[in-house]
């Protein structure tokens, strides 16, 4: 299904047909080919069927004679457009003087977005422009009938115009900090996610995204596999068994592990687990309400309202079995859930943004933990949520940020870190104060909180290696007051500031311009091929472009070689530091101060059983691999950030990719008679740079993470041996096993980590250069040596798309 079909059905009030048409693969072309017999099968209900027949008759009648049989107008693509052009049909995107009364405003009564053309009306106009150009390119695609090599290439280029913009915003904080209330307030959906009692906490990852298929609220429940649960069940029962055998009082760590296991088992099985074996607890009777779990499929729930959804998904998302607010729920399925995706209809803040409510510090279940780490690494923004009354002193939130800094920074793609101080309206004795006094106290404390949090941020030197100062912002919010409006104006709750931020993330101006510019380039290529005649001028341009391509790729290669050399030198220093400092690192890791042996024994045991990593629900994680890798990462962190910046201002490899161009100003001036061909080359050049930037951002994560990954793989044998230690002296035996292994591997382990990372970096550089050279050489060939007379006449389409491109560029 494409945008035309979905939008047409939605505008006609036939949202219930969207899923049916999607499942059947109905696109613009096949939509128009539907016959009565097809409609009978697709739409069994008479009411919807009659409405649809009326709709399709009207659409066919609106077709103009010069439109192709499988194209029909939508979003302003109206009769007469060929003659008048879109700029006369659509309001100008650069006209900021005329604003529709319904546009959304920011916290100061000004337009919510920074750029002048980011009003609601301009956003709608750009969407119409994009839809028009998409339809145009769909028509061109249909005209390329035969399977010649050239047509295949052009069809591929048209398909490659489509890109999906999706920004991930990760939200995390300690239990009771107000994450879910914050998400509800920012989305203006008070009852969307279950929130409230401190004793009920979100226990699984929740993604909140836009519902593009219908007007319903949906929740898709993704379960862990039965095999994963059986493995986890065995571990939980083992933890309970060990706990019951203890004769002394448990310390904090064992309490956490024991009670966590008991809570999970009780949630799903009530008290039956206490007298059952693992095999008995896997019987199908315990899962009869969720057959999808046994079949390893997702469960989708559909609701008319946010409140209905919130009530029903509690048992899949929250650890609230002991909470009297939920005493009617007997079965809790959150221990079996990997992730819940909530889809919200018609929400302007979610068009291209997904909010992710991330529980705590990862998960002991491997499939959930893998997803947790993957999501964190893909977040472009992170919201650290903490209560305002202890925002600067609350250690748990800062610990989580420290734990994930490298995963979201150099090892991720995070561009923004927001410290969100919640519950700003929580003022003691506020009932004894006037509204003005309460407001003054709140705003005074907000200012003080921002200063104290800012001071704490300045102390985080290791985190600052991954991020520039511009990445950090502090917000003081009140979700309750945003809805209640008793003591604070909406602006003073600072929720509108976060909404404005999301609106800016949702902005698709650059994506629209990229699509339209790419379409303009393809149309220029086709039209230029129809007009081209072989002459010496073409040969001159071809030779000039080939020469420039050689010079540009050589320049990039030289810069990459410099970067490669710098990394090699810095990593070698890191290797030497690792050899000299591993003893101190192991001492601080294996013999921590202020920890009694019994509690630490539990933590170290969990770490060696989990590939060197122990993530408690509260506090700093133990990550032996990261600790051993730290001299290596410290040696390259700042260089890595400047080479592969997440903010996108100068682009990867110190800006040489963004600076790449084989089209000089002099070349364009000299060869104006082959302007169309040069436009085609320039368009491909811009598309390629955008594509490379995205792929490099993904692959640089693998480069950076390879250091810890290699160390972890080298350490795995000793972890297995340490995990097998039992009986008296287990703690010391585990310590000595790890120490002896690292001491014996010091001369090879760190060198191997360096070698693996440099190989990844080298492969990335080679692939980038090859892609640049091959793609641009193909583009030059296509643009200057194609004279296929079978190509369609696209002069009218080119003129129309050029007008749209110019208008978008002026914005």
Q: How far apart are CA 732 and CA 738, in angstroms?
A: 10
In a domain, 131, yes or no: yes
Q: Are residues 39 and 130 in the same domain?
A: no
Helix (H, G, I), strand (E, B) or coil at 757: helix
Q: Are residues 27 and 155 in the same domain?
A: no
- Residue length, the chain? 811
Q: Are residues 40 and 133 in the same domain?
A: no
Q: Which of 160, 180, 208 is the last residue of a domain?
A: 160
Measured from the Cβ of residue 712, the count of other Cβ atoms closer than 10 Å reads 20
Q: Are residues 148 and 7 in the same domain?
A: no
Q: What is the pLDDT of residue 619?
A: 65
> Are β-strands 353-357 and 205-211 bridged in parallel, bridged antiparallel, or unpaired?
antiparallel
Q: What is the mean pLDDT of residues 384-398?
A: 84
Q: What is the mean pLDDT of residues 660-668?
A: 90
CA distance from start to end of the chain: 30
In a domain, 168, yes or no: no
Measured from the Cβ of residue 669, the count of other Cβ atoms closer than 10 Å reads 8
Q: How far apart are CA 777 and CA 703, in angstroms?
A: 28
Higher pLDDT, 361 or 731: 731
Find the range with the poorest average confidence among 235-244, 329-338, 392-401.
Answer: 392-401
For residue 6, name the pLDDT band (cuts at 50, 70, 90).
confident
Q: Are residues 541 and 649 in the same domain?
A: yes
Q: What is the mean pLDDT of residues 636-657?
A: 90
- pLDDT tens profile 445-498: 999 999 999 998 888 888 888 898 889 999 999 999 999 998 899 999 999 999
Instruction: Name every residue whose Cβ is closer than 8 Å to that of residue 441 and which is 6 or more positions away in sequence.
Output: 427, 430, 433
Say if CB 600 and CB 731 are below 8 A apart: yes
Q: Are residues 9 and 155 in the same domain?
A: no
In a domain, 141, yes or no: yes
In a domain, 475, yes or no: no
- pLDDT tens profile 88-134: 333 333 333 333 333 333 333 333 333 333 445 677 788 889 999 99
Q: Which of 160, 176, 207 is the last residue of a domain?
A: 160
Q: Are residues 569 and 711 in the same domain?
A: yes
Give residue 152's domain range: 124-160
Q: Which of 138, 160, 182 is the last residue of a domain?
A: 160
For residue 693, name the pLDDT band (cuts at 50, 70, 90).
very high
In a domain, 288, yes or no: no
* Token output for 337: 């859930």
Find the range with the poorest average confidence among 50-64, 399-413, 740-754.
Answer: 50-64
Q: Are residues 718 and 596 in the same domain?
A: yes
Q: What is the mean pLDDT of residues 537-559?
A: 94
CB-hemisphere CA count at 13 Å for 717?
9
Q: Are residues 579 and 715 in the same domain?
A: yes
In a domain, 579, yes or no: yes
Say if CB 737 and CB 722 are below 8 A apart: yes
Say if CB 388 and CB 538 are below 8 A apart: no
For residue 797, name the pLDDT band (cuts at 50, 70, 90).
very high
Mean pLDDT of all residues in the chain?
84
In a domain, 286, yes or no: no
Find the range with the poorest average confidence among 144-158, 556-570, 631-645.
Answer: 144-158
Taking 90 as the threshold, does the pLDDT of residue 173 lie above it? no
In a domain, 71, yes or no: no
Taking 50 as the threshold, does the pLDDT of residue 185 lie above it? yes
Is the pTM higher than 0.75?
yes
In the block, residue with structure tokens 């546009």: 103
Q: Are residues 722 and 631 in the same domain?
A: yes
**Exposed (0-12), middle (13-18) or buried (19+): which is 46, by Cβ within 10 Å?**
exposed
What is the domain count for the chain?
Answer: 3
């Amino acid at each position: 299904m494409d945008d035309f079909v979905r939008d047409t059905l939605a505008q006609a009030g036939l949202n219930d047909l969207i899923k049916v048409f999607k499942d059947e693969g109905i696109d613009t072309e096949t939509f128009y080919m539907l016959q009565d017999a097809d409609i009978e099968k697709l739409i069994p209900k008479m009411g919807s069927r009659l409405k649809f027949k009326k709709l399709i008759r009207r659409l066919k009648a609106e077709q103009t004679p010069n439109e192709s049989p499988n194209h029909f107008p939508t979003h302003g693509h109206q009769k007469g457009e060929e003659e008048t052009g879109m700029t006369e049909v659509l309001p100008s995107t650069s006209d900021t003087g005329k604003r529709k009364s319904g546009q959304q405003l920011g916290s100061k009564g000004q337009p919510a977005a920074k750029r002048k053309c980011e009003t609601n009306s301009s956003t709608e106009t750009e969407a119409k422009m994009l839809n028009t150009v998409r339809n145009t390119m769909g028509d061109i695609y249909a005209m390329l009938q035969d399977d010649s090599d050239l047509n295949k290439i052009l069809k591929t280029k048209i398909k490659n115009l489509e890109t999906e913009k999706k920004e991930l915003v990760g939200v995390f904080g300690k239990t009771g900090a107000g994450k879910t209330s914050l998400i509800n307030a920012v989305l203006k959906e008070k009852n969307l996610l279950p929130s409230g009692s401190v004793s009920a906490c979100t226990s699984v990852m929740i993604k909140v995204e836009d519902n593009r298929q219908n007007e319903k609220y949906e929740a898709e429940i993704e379960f862990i596999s039965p095999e994963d649960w059986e493995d986890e069940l065995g571990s939980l029962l083992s933890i309970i068994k060990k706990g019951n055998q203890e004769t002394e009082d448990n310390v904090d760590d064992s309490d956490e592990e024991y009670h966590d296991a008991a809570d999970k088992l009780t949630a799903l099985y009530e008290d039956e687990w206490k007298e059952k074996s693992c095999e008995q607890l896997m019987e199908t009777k315990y899962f009869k309400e969720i057959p999808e779990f046994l079949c390893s499929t997702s469960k989708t729930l559909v609701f008319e309202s946010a409140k209905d959804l919130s009530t029903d998904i509690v048992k899949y998302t929250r650890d609230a079995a002991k909470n009297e607010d939920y005493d009617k729920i007997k079965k809790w399925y959150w221990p079996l859930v990997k992730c819940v995706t909530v889809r919200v209809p018609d929400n302007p803040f979610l068009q291209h943004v997904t909010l992710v409510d991330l529980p705590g510090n990862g998960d002991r279940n491997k499939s959930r933990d893998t997803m947790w780490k993957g999501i964190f690494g893909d977040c472009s923004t992170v919201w650290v949520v903490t209560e305002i009354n202890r925002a600067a002193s609350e250690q748990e939130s800062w610990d989580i940020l420290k734990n994930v800094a490298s995963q979201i920074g150099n090892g991720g793609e995070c561009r923004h870190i927001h410290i969100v101080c919640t519950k700003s309206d929580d003022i003691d004795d506020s009932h004894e104060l006037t509204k003005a006094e309460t407001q003054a106290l709140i705003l005074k404390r907000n200012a003080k909180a921002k200063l104290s949090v800012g001071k704490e941020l300045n102390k985080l030197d290791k985190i600052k290696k991954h991020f520039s100062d511009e990445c950090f912002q502090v917000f003081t919010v009140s979700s309750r007051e945003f809805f209640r409006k008793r003591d604070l104006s909406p602006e003073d709750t600072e929720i509108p500031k976060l909404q404005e931020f999301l609106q800016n993330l949702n902005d698709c101006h650059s994506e629209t311009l990229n699509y339209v510019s790419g379409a303009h380039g393809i149309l220029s290529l086709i039209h230029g091929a129809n007009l081209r005649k072989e002459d010496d001028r073409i040969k001159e341009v071809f030779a000039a472009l080939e020469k420039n391509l050689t010079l540009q790729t050589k320049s990039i290669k030289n810069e990459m070689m410099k970067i490669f050399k710098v990394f090699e030198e810095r990593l070698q220093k890191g290797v030497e530091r690792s050899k000299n400092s591993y003893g101190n690192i192991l001492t601080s890791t294996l013999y921590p101060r202020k920890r009694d042996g019994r509690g630490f024994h539990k933590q170290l045991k969990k770490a060696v059983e989990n590939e060197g990593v122990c993530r408690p629900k509260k506090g700093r994680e133990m990550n032996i691999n990261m600790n051993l890798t730290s001299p290596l990462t410290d040696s390259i962190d700042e260089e890595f950030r400047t080479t592969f910046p997440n903010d996108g201002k100068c682009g990867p490899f110190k800006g040489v990719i963004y600076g790449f161009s084989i089209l000089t100003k002099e070349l364009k001036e000299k060869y104006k008679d082959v302007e169309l061909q040069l436009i085609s080359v320039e368009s491909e050049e811009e598309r390629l740079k955008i594509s490379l930037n995205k792929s490099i951002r993904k692959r640089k994560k693998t480069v950076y993470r390879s250091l810890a990954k290699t160390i972890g793989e080298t350490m795995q044998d000793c972890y297995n041996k340490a995990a097998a230690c039992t009986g008296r002296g287990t703690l010391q035996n585990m310590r000595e096993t790890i120490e002896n292994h690292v001491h014996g591997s010091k001369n090879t382990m760190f060198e191997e980590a360096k070698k693996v990372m440099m190989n990844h970096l080298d492969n990335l550089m080679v692939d980038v250069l090859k892609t640049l050279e091959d793609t641009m050489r193909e583009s030059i060939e296509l643009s200057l040596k194609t004279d296929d007379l079978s190509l369609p006449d696209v002069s009218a389409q080119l003129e129309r798309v050029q007008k749209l491109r110019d208008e978008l560029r002026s914005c």
